[in-house]
Amino acid sequence: MTAFDRIKHLLDLFRHPGSDDTRFGGKPKRQAAAVVFRGTGDSRELMLITSRDTGRWIVPKGWIEPGEDGPAAALREAWEEAGVTGDVLASGPVGHYRYVKQRSRRGDALCDVDVYLVRLREEKNQWPEKGQRQRKWFPVATAIGLVGEDGLKDVIRDAFQVLRAA
């Protein structure tokens, strides 16, 4: 995480945007994220990718397109951004978080993100955004430490505690 990212994050914490905050165009935009993992037990690893703009470590996520539900969007984003396919665990998201997406041309957007836990099925060498991102596997605890969004860290931590107990 760069110094700029840290400052932005701290400022976002003080904004405390409400669900109908007019600074961000009113109603929050919906996104879906894929927390992709492989392995079992203590040998589980979590896949992270780099963001296109700053190179910080994130999970695949993006807009839910018309006619698409959250799990389908999460799987599509995992393929487009990381070149992986998998199976969504559970019938719904394992958690949610909110953040402010900075967009220079269209203005900042308040986003509500549904997070889906995805078990890796296949990892390809070629994918749509390969030239724009890096993909790397980390032990779960290490990955949680590398992710910058506090809300996402909490969701990942809780999801893997539940998975460990199962």
Would you give per-residue pLDDT tens digits along the chain (166 residues)? 455 555 555 555 454 444 444 455 567 889 999 999 999 988 999 999 999 888 999 999 999 999 999 999 999 999 999 999 999 997 789 999 998 887 777 778 889 999 999 999 999 999 999 999 999 999 999 999 999 888 999 999 998 887 887 6
CA atoms of 8 and 107, how far apart (whole Å): 15
Residue 156 tokens read as 């990942």
Do the bridges between strand 29-38 and strand 109-123 make them parallel or antiparallel, or are there none, so unpaired?
parallel
Look at residue 5 in the predicted model and tell me its pLDDT: 52
Q: CA-CA distance, 58 to 19, in Å (whole number)?
A: 24
Q: Which residues are CB-contacts of 19 (< 8 A; sequence separation ≥ 6)?
A: 27, 28
pLDDT of res. 112: 94
Write down the domain spans for the chain.
3-165
Q: Domain 3-165 is of which CATH architecture?
A: Alpha-Beta Complex (3.90)
Paired residues of 29 in beta bridges: 111
How high is the pLDDT of residue 162?
A: 79
